[in-house]
Amino acid sequence: MIPLGKRVPPSSLSTFYDQILAYCIYIQGRDGLMTKYVFVTGGVVSSVGKGILAAGLGLLLEARGLKIAMMKLDPYINVDPGTMNPFEHGEVFVTDDGAETDLDLGHYERFTTCKLSQKSNVTTGGIYNAVIQKERRGEYLGKTVQVIPHITDEIKSRIRKLTTDSEINVDVVIVEIGGTVGDIESLPFLEALRQFRLEVGPPNCCFIHVTLVPYIEAAGELKTKPTQHSVRSLRDIGIQPNVIVCRTGPYNLSESERHKIAMFCDVMDDAIISAKDISPLYAIPLNFKQQKLDDTVLKLLNIEAGESDLAGWAKMVERLKSSTREVRIAAVGKYVGHDDAYKSINEAFVHAGIENDCCVKVEWVDSEQFEKGVEPADVLKGFDGILVGPGFGSRGIEGKIRAVQYARENKIPFLGICLGMQVAVIEIARNCAGLSNANSTEFDPETDAPIISLLSEQKGLKDMGGTMRLGAYRCDLKPGTLAHAAYGADSVDERHRHRYEFNNSFLESLAENGTLVISGTHMKGEHELVEIIEVKGHPWFCASQFHPEFNSTPLKAQPLFRDFVSAALKR
The CA-atom distances, in angstroms, between 92 and each of 40, 454, 469, 496, 532 are: 21, 21, 14, 11, 22
Antiparallel, parallel or unpaired: β 541-544 and 450-454: unpaired
Torsion of CA 299, 301, 303, 308, to 10 degrees: -60
Residue 549 appears among annotated catalytic residues: yes
How many angstroms separate the CA atoms of 389 and 420, rounded? 5
How many angstroms separate the CA atoms of 59 and 65, rounded? 10
Grouping H, G, I as helix, E, B as strand and the rest as coil, residue 357 is coil
Grouping H, G, I as helix, E, B as strand and the rest as coil, residue 319 is helix
Length of the chain equals: 571
DSSP, residue by residue, 256-269 = HHHHHHHHHHT--G
How many angstroms separate the CA atoms of 30 and 309, rounded? 22
How many angstroms separate the CA atoms of 327 and 360, rounded? 5
Residue 259 appears among annotated catalytic residues: no
Torsion of CA 499, 500, 505, 508, to 10 degrees: -130
The CA-atom distances, in angstroms, between 380 and each of 334, 374, 424, 504 are: 16, 11, 17, 32
How many angstroms separate the CA atoms of 179 and 209, rounded? 12
Find the catalytic residue in 89, 150, 484, 547: 547
- 9-17, long-range: CB within 8 Å, 24+ apart, which pairs? 9/199, 11/199
Provide the sign of the torsion angle of the four alpha carbons 492, 495, 499, 500, taken in this order.
Answer: negative
- Residue type for position 383: F
The CA-atom distances, in angstroms, between 431 and each of 152, 426, 436, 463, 533 are: 58, 9, 7, 36, 16
Q: What is the CA radius of gyration of the chain?
A: 26
Residue 359 appears among annotated catalytic residues: no
Q: How much helix, strand and coil, in percent to the nearest 5, is found in the chain?
A: 40, 20, 35
The CA-atom distances, in angstroms, between 138 and each of 79, 132, 205, 539 are: 22, 10, 34, 63
188: preceding bond cis by omega (within 30 degrees): no
Q: Are 497 and 469 in contact (CB under 8 A)?
A: yes
Find the catalytic residue in 205, 418, 475, 542: 418
CB burial of 263-289 (b: ≥16 within 10 Å; e: otherwise) equals eebebeeebbbbbeeeeebbbbbbebb
Residue 166 is classified by DSSP as -
Find the catalytic residue in 154, 501, 534, 549: 549
Residues annotated as catalytic are 418, 547, 549
